[in-house]
Chains A and B, each alone.
Chain A
Amino acid sequence: MSKLHIVLLILFPALSLNVRADEETKLPAPVQPRLTSVFPMSAQPGARLEVELRGEFLDRVNRVLFETGDLSGAVLSSTFTSARIQIHVAAGAQPGARYFRLLSQRGASNLVLFRVSRWPVPLESEPNDELDSPTVVSLPVLINARLSSMNDVDLFRFHAKNGERIQFNVLGARNWTPADVSLAILWPNGREIVHDEGRFIWDPYIDHMFEKEGDYLAAVTVTRMPAGGQSRNDLNYQLAIGRSPFIWSLFPFGGAKGSTVEVEMLADFVPTSPVVIFSEKRIDARVQAGIRNNCCKILTAIAPDATAGIHELLLAENSGILAPAKFAVGDFPECLEVEPNDSARVAQTLSFPATVNGRIDRNGDEDWYRISAETGQALTFIIDAEKYGSVLDSQLTLLDTGGRRLASNDDAKWPGRPLNRDPLLTYRFKEKGDYFVKVSSPYQRGDPDHVYRLTVRPQQPGFVVSLNSDRAVVARGGSGKLGISVVRQEGFEGDVRIDVEGLPAGVTAKPLIIPKEKDSDSLVVEAAEGSDQPLSEIEVFGAAAIGGNEIRRRAWLPPSRFQGSGPGFSDYTPRKPLLSVVDAPWFSLESAASTVYLVRGGKAEFGVKITRRPEFTAPLEISSENLPAGVTIDQVDFIDEGRMARITLTATESTPQARIPDLVVVGKSREKKESAPRISLQVD
């Protein structure tokens, strides 16, 4: 008896029970397209190229929507699990990351990344698994490649000169793909020179000086297969080999409005005359001195009307792989940490409100600041570091002059941020007097890249509202939900009222108040039958009464991927959430198993649950997409009054051993066609 037989014997009664329990209330729900991979992931300015997308529910995609206007695209074809689109990059497009999604009658897909580069962007050429058959590349290069299994190896041969320093930068996690890979530089005979498993998130980065002129190999392999089996078709990555600027840190990484700040930039591969570009136009930057020891000074003038908040700093370059560094514009007076300030005895005095820019510049360093507080005064202490790209995971400690610890914080809640390890502390002082604020690393680690900003200001009770997704869908004549979270800060404990702007005609949102004892809920959106605007940009707000004032704040959108931080990480956040209004599906399918195991020459059964609108009773024709050669649907039995399809697959003896990660079951009735979510098929 096959594994599946056993699974089915166990699953079917349970599934049947579930169906009966839910059948009265459950209607087929709309599902939006989902993209899982893009290949290739880059193009040069002026290029027009075909790109293969993979995912699910892609069958009706009809539009490519870029977030910026310098790239455009059109859908060429699509199936349930793949789509081919054509992308056109404007000739004047600047190198860097771009983001797009697909639109369809089902709604909007998630965002995916595409990179513009002036470097050559070749595709790997398989087979390139053996030492004597690598893909040959010339430098600089941004290679588009993909791995398919734990046994797959991508080998690239390149030439290096004696004394040449070359950067090898794999973009996997930072391209939002699940490719967790390792990189090794080899002699042509396969002996390893250097390797890296992943410096950024799980992306390897090697900066190597070659001591001998000759041909070398770069080998990329899977480090660990993501969940879902031994083979995948979404392990795409880019390998940049060349010399592209790489910013490690800025110090200070912010300044007050109306001030001029000398910023020290620590970076590698910076050109001799770098051009600095700020995303905030009211910041003027001028490189003050040439590069010395990977360090240069940037004189940064911040206009008095510059927008407070986080902005981006870029160096003009060609590869398109440079990630921006973060630069903050603050509302309060700012100063720099003055060493030595390593103990209470030599603590630096701060008046507040103020922001001090410091760094834990060596192992074991502690930065001490002295403040004076009044009796009953409540102050808030905020560290900005890791959430804006610093490598510092900081710790904040408040002490009295006797050295007694009054309060401390290591990791605060920072909604909407990929990492939550920056501290935040609010403290009400019982007595007037001097106190110390200590900033340190819990690991006693430090170097010049461990930069931070400490802001001390009076307590400001408030809250942050954030959305769980940047896209919602609602069926005409039905309702949809948008998850919302609230984080109350600095002593605020009240209710938060949620409201929405930008809803199209015929769509309404149910009033929602998140009471003080809850920190999350769902906003219910309803669409009338005749709603005819398929896609809208909406805005969600939270409002609360604090200190007698009505405070209203725009909800944060989640970054497109929560995969980490640090240099090289791009935490792009879409502008506004999208609401799609779609027709409710007539039926939906859901497989009972996530993986089907099939033995060559054998059969396997699995169940697919069918949910129908009450008025839809037509018979369904069951087929599939992505069945490998040699495997066919042998039989389909409808059971449980048509609420379940029992599908029997059969494999010939000659079917190759394989794992198919994106098998979908398709149901069809005349022009109505739906698929189940992707499952895996393992043929052994």
Chain B
Amino acid sequence: MRKNSPRRRERAKATLCVFVSLWFISLAAAAQTPKTIPTLKEIFFEPKSVFLSGAGESQTLIVTGRYSDGSTRDLTREVNFSSNDTSIAEVNSAGVVTSKAPGMTRVVACLDSTAQGSQAGNSSPLRTAAKVGNGANLSALALVVIRELGGPRKLSFANDIAPIFSRAGCNASGCHGALNGQGGFKLSLFGYDPDADYQAIVKDNSGRRVDLKYPEESLILLKPTFTMRHGGGQVITENSLEYRALHDWVAAGAPQGRTGGPRLEKLFVYPNDQRFLTGPDQKQQLVVVGKYNDGREVDMTRLVRYSSSDETVAMVSQGGLVQPRRSGETNIMVRSLGAVGAARVAVVLRPPLAAHQKMARNNFIDDLVLEKLEKMRIIPSEICTDNEYVRRVYLDLIGTLPAPEEVRAFLRDRSRDKRTRLIDALFKRPEYADFWSLKWGDLLTNSPQFLYNGTAYFQSWLRDAFAHNMPYDRFVRELLTSSGGTYQALPTNFYAAGKKPEDMATFTSQAFLGLSLECARCHDHPSEKWKRDDFLGLAAFFSQVKFKNGARNNERFLYVDPEKEFQHPQTKRVIPARFLGAGNADFRPQEDRRARLAAWLTSPSNPYFARAITNRIWRELMGRGIVEPADDFRITNPPTHEVLLDRLAADFVKDGFDLQHLMKRILMSRTYQLSSRTNETNHDDKTAYSHYHLRRLTAEQLADAISQVSGVPEKYPFFYPGKRAIQLPDPIVDSYFLTIFDRSTRENATCTRKQSASMAQSLNLVSGETINAKLRHDKGILARLIREGKTDKEIAEHFWISTLSRAPSKSELKAAQEGISRGQSRREGLEDFVWALLNSKEFLYNH
């Protein structure tokens, strides 16, 4: 008891504060005093080799320097280029290689000699950032291969002209790529159908969009240059390469080129790893290589359209030059002819750290997170206190506040592994299954809108699955392949009423693969590689699913009609079932296709499955997905910590798709246990996990917490008193409180709950009956404590720990006692005090 006396605690706390402050000050000082300057170790080309076909073809190259601290930097504008054989290929000062004749040669990049010997403090970006190390390899070679030249290459609309419209944004969804086009002119969205676009430009409207005799009079030149009135304004200039290309193409008779010819398959973006731009004037040139399905590679650096996912972090020019603006991370998306790619860029404008503070590491998560934090020049927050941890892990894992006695028991425990043991204990709690079945109810749209009376049945199956820690691969297989009555074969409720094979394809890919394929339902995905045929091929796995009615109210029986094929919505041709990115599926006669889909989907070799659930669980516990949004994995939305995601996913698979293992791995990491209090290096960090992300309690967590603290259970219609909000099966259960605090309506798969702030919420908490009626209740804990003769101090301490999982400080306790004494009566004063706690941010947030 002496050990935990308030005075000792206060003293310990004060000591800790002093210690933490000193520690933080030392870090801050370190952050501002770099002791060593990184030296340049090598320079290298990206891409490392160039393959060109035909004369006059060109390829842009970039040169990157690697430094002694592992950082990299774009030195393209710092080096001198030369070609070993200019009869085969030439290279200009910007690093653009142009083919001359068939053969093989090399281009060389050499760092300027003055730069080699320079020191920090000079004006060059290179010079300001680093010095060159002794013995560094300061020249780089790139292989150049020129294939058979033949005659001049014939113009092709699909390969040479259509990309211009993508680059200029003409075929974007807000312009002529809209469903009905713009101004009577319709292009396929982002150019996924060049044949249709050719028809629209050259043939439709009696061919008035091109003037073969006077090309400069063509509408496709007059409009985008704004020579003629154009709703989209000026999108190209008359002296641009794009204008010249369009003009020459029209002058050449606007040829379509070979239809069914080579199609752009993929875009490679260089650099292909994340680049850290560590100075305001440090720019990064991007290079984009397009790969066609005939094997040809084409420089598309000036043909693609660029966009930054966060322009406040970095902007990108339409020449592919990235310019930093503020510290943070962004993705640069490139797009052309239905193909997409992305480059990952981090901007770090904080001063360099001399030596990154060595933080204790609990597992590989910490290794990988810290590695990136170091690159980002971010010092992580300190580890959270036991009080913070016990409250946080209860809320994150079982959606429930710890009871005062649970908090005290945890604080009393002096064993080193108590945090780990707490996780194990929480997995066994019934609330764990309740809470995670609630989350999955959101994701799997467990709502009477789709399931009528089936919601409680589906919830009970989800609950059992989590209570018994069903391996996730089996969980998904059972959902996908179930047959029978919705009230007996409970996973059949996954197949919600009225959902078509296309709906199930969207639903399945979103829930289990983290892929948003909805776009590909109608057209090729604009920001992913998925074509419409990929989507329809996935939908074909669900074509055999049929229902018949049962005897009970709204009871349905799912069965498989093995004869049923899936037809193209428009052409009615039979679409073969196709695994996403893995080819067509072959079936035995009468086979349930869903079983094959489930086997492929849950296979350890599936590139999406384990990563998607790993990311989802990470998001639930850490507040932000490694891919965010968690159900939007795509090339143009890459993970912020790709290696970490891969390691977690591999670990999850290796451990038998064990969800609790995965959660425990995350919860045990120091990264999860970091404080939510930030320092000056990480206060604006949103993506690097340098601190715990504050989150308002969800509607159900909050409702249950208020009931628990007050000791007055909420009575929900159709349920007994004591039924907690996290146990409710569906969103139809009437509760104004839950509604205003963003309970999911489950009209769509809800991956992420809203976290809105509204006047209705504030008014409800401040003056609504949810809190006030419970505080006034004669059977509540406050009334009981008063009846038991507890003092104001004892009551204050009780509620402090029951709401915030911590004891009050002396000053807090003093203020509380003063506040209580100011009440019109003692009871009223105490009610006001508990009300204040329940309205505090510390209570309303998980921190």
Q: Are B456 and A150 in contact (CB under 8 A)?
A: no
Q: Are B718 and A222 in contact (CB under 8 A)?
A: yes
Contacts of B453 in A (CB 8 A): 180, 197, 202, 223-224
- Give CA–CA (A419, B548) in the complex, Å: 12
- Give CA–CA (A654, B69) in the complex, Å: 81
- Give CA–CA (A441, B557) in the complex, Å: 11
A131-B722, A150-B718, A190-B721 known; A198 and B557 CB under 8 Å? no
**Which of A44-52, A116-124, A181-189 is found at the contact surface with chain B?**
A181-189
Which residue of the partner chain, among B552, B592, B720, contacts A564 with CB atoms under 8 Å?
Answer: B552
Closest chain A CB from B267 CB (angstroms) = 45
A528 within 8 A of B: no
A223-B453, A442-B483 known; A563 and B551 CB under 8 Å? yes
Q: Are A190 and B722 in contact (CB under 8 A)?
A: yes
Contacts of A186 in B (CB 8 A): 720, 722
Q: Are B721 and A129 in contact (CB under 8 A)?
A: yes
Interface membership of chain A positions 397-437, coded 1 if the CB is closer than 8 angstroms to chain B and 0 otherwise? 00000000000001100000011010000000000000000
Q: Are A182 and B721 in contact (CB under 8 A)?
A: no
Closest chain A CB from B375 CB (angstroms) = 48
Contacts of A294 in B (CB 8 A): none
B672 within 8 A of A: no
Contacts of A421 in B (CB 8 A): 548
Chain A residues touching B, range: 35 or more
Which residue of the partner chain, among B430, B457, B551, B559, contacts A565 with CB atoms under 8 Å?
Answer: B551
- Give CA–CA (A410, B720) in the complex, Å: 41
Closest to B717 in A: A150
Contacts of B557 in A (CB 8 A): 393, 442-443
A155 within 8 A of B: yes
Q: Are A443 and B553 in contact (CB under 8 A)?
A: no
Q: Are B718 and A221 in contact (CB under 8 A)?
A: yes
- Give CA–CA (A202, B779) in the complex, Å: 34
Which residue of the partner chain, among B456, B551, B723, contacts A197 with CB atoms under 8 Å?
Answer: B456
A224-B718, A442-B559 known; A198 and B551 CB under 8 Å? no
Interface membership of chain B positions 545-580, coded 1 if the CB is closer than 8 angstroms to chain A and 0 otherwise? 000100111000111100000000000000000000
A442-B559, A445-B489 known; A418 and B551 CB under 8 Å? yes
A292 within 8 A of B: no
B719 within 8 A of A: yes
Closest to A420 in B: B551
Closest to B590 in A: A405
- Give CA–CA (A219, B723) in the complex, Å: 11
Closest to B733 in A: A150
Q: Are A443 and B460 in contact (CB under 8 A)?
A: no
Which residue of the partner chain, among B483, B558, B719, B721, contacts A130 with CB atoms under 8 Å?
Answer: B721
Specify the main secondary structure of chain A where it touches its partner: loop
Q: Are A443 and B558 in contact (CB under 8 A)?
A: yes
The count of residues in chain B whose C-beta lies closer than 8 Å to any C-beta of chain A is 31
Task: Give the residues from 564 to 597 in chain A that come closer than 8 angstroms, CB to CB, to chain B.
Answer: 564-565
Closest to A418 in B: B551
Contacts of A532 in B (CB 8 A): none
B487 within 8 A of A: yes
Q: Are A189 and B551 in contact (CB under 8 A)?
A: no
Which residue of the partner chain, among A201, A219, A444, A445, contacts B720 with CB atoms under 8 Å?
Answer: A219
Closest chain B CB from A440 CB (angstroms) = 10
Q: Are B779 and A155 in contact (CB under 8 A)?
A: no
Interface membership of chain A positions 180-216, coded 1 if the CB is closer than 8 angstroms to chain B and 0 otherwise? 1010101001111001011001100000000000000
Interface-central residue, B460, B557, B558, B719, by most chain A CB under 10 Å = B719
Q: Are B727 and A445 in contact (CB under 8 A)?
A: no
Task: Give the residues from 508 to 556 in chain B that come closer than 8 angstroms, CB to CB, to chain A.
Answer: 548, 551-553
B715 within 8 A of A: yes
Q: Are B551 and A131 in contact (CB under 8 A)?
A: no
Q: Are B552 and A221 in contact (CB under 8 A)?
A: no
Which residue of the partner chain, among B457, B553, B719, contacts A180 with CB atoms under 8 Å?
Answer: B553
Closest chain A CB from B600 CB (angstroms) = 19
B713 within 8 A of A: yes
Contacts of B720 in A (CB 8 A): 153, 155, 184, 186, 190, 219, 221
Closest to B722 in A: A190
Closest chain B CB from A513 CB (angstroms) = 33
A132 within 8 A of B: yes
Which residue of the partner chain, among A184, A190, A393, contacts B713 with CB atoms under 8 Å?
Answer: A190
Q: Are B715 and A443 in contact (CB under 8 A)?
A: no
Q: Are A151 and B721 in contact (CB under 8 A)?
A: no
Q: Are A189 and B722 in contact (CB under 8 A)?
A: yes
Task: Give the residues from 41 to 60 in chain A that come closer than 8 angstroms, CB to CB, to chain B.
Answer: none
- Give CA–CA (A375, B717) in the complex, Å: 65
- Give CA–CA (A555, B454) in the complex, Å: 37
A180-B553, A191-B722, A201-B551 known; A223 and B456 CB under 8 Å? yes
B484 within 8 A of A: yes
- Give CA–CA (A129, B720) in the complex, Å: 8
- Give CA–CA (A96, B559) in the complex, Å: 37
Closest chain B CB from A587 CB (angstroms) = 37
Which residue of the partner chain, among A151, A195, A202, A442, contacts B552 with CB atoms under 8 Å?
Answer: A202
Contacts of B558 in A (CB 8 A): 443
Task: Give the residues from 476 to 512 in chain A that come closer than 8 angstroms, CB to CB, to chain B.
Answer: none
Closest to A155 in B: B720
- Give CA–CA (A209, B582) in the complex, Å: 49
Contacts of A201 in B (CB 8 A): 551-552
- Give CA–CA (A192, B682) in the complex, Å: 43
- Give CA–CA (A198, B551) in the complex, Å: 13
Contacts of B719 in A (CB 8 A): 153, 221
Contacts of A189 in B (CB 8 A): 722
Contacts of A184 in B (CB 8 A): 720, 723
Closest chain A CB from B668 CB (angstroms) = 28
Contacts of A132 in B (CB 8 A): 779
- Give CA–CA (A562, B552) in the complex, Å: 10
Closest to B589 in A: A403
Q: Are B484 and A192 in contact (CB under 8 A)?
A: no
Closest chain A CB from B769 CB (angstroms) = 16
Contacts of B485 in A (CB 8 A): 393, 443
Closest chain A CB from B35 CB (angstroms) = 59
Which residue of the partner chain, among A130, A195, A564, contacts B551 with CB atoms under 8 Å?
Answer: A564
Task: Give the residues from 126 to 140 in chain A that come closer than 8 angstroms, CB to CB, to chain B.
Answer: 129-132
Closest chain B CB from A641 CB (angstroms) = 44
- Give CA–CA (A393, B557) in the complex, Å: 10
Closest to A569 in B: B551
Closest to A444 in B: B483
Contacts of A441 in B (CB 8 A): 484
Interface-central residue, A132, A186, A192, by most chain B CB under 10 Å = A192
Q: Are B559 and A443 in contact (CB under 8 A)?
A: yes
- Give CA–CA (A186, B723) in the complex, Å: 10
Closest chain B CB from A569 CB (angstroms) = 9
- Give CA–CA (A202, B487) in the complex, Å: 10
Contacts of B484 in A (CB 8 A): 441, 443, 445
Task: Give the residues from 454 to 491 in chain B that come closer than 8 angstroms, CB to CB, to chain A.
Answer: 456-457, 460, 483-485, 487-489
- Give CA–CA (A445, B717) in the complex, Å: 35
In the assembled complex, 30 residue pairs joining A and B whose CB atoms fall closer than 8 Å, in A order, are A131-B713, A132-B779, A150-B718, A151-B715, A153-B719, A153-B720, A182-B456, A182-B718, A190-B713, A190-B721, A190-B722, A192-B723, A195-B460, A197-B460, A198-B552, A201-B551, A221-B718, A223-B453, A224-B453, A410-B559, A442-B559, A443-B483, A443-B484, A443-B485, A443-B489, A443-B557, A444-B483, A562-B551, A563-B551, A564-B551
Question: What residues of chain B have their CB less than 8 Å away from a CB belonging to chain A?
Answer: 430, 453, 456-457, 460, 483-485, 487-489, 548, 551-553, 557-560, 592, 713, 715, 717-723, 727, 779
Question: What residues of chain A have their CB less than 8 Å away from a CB belonging to chain B?
Answer: 129-132, 150-151, 153, 155, 180, 182, 184, 186, 189-192, 195, 197-198, 201-202, 219, 221-224, 391, 393, 410-411, 418-419, 421, 441-445, 562-565
- A130-B721, A131-B713 are known contacts; what are 8 more A-B pairs with Cβ within 8 Å? A180-B453, A182-B718, A186-B720, A221-B719, A393-B485, A443-B484, A445-B489, A564-B552
Query: Closest 8 interchain pairs by CB?
Result: A190-B722, A443-B483, A443-B484, A219-B720, A442-B559, A564-B551, A197-B456, A150-B717
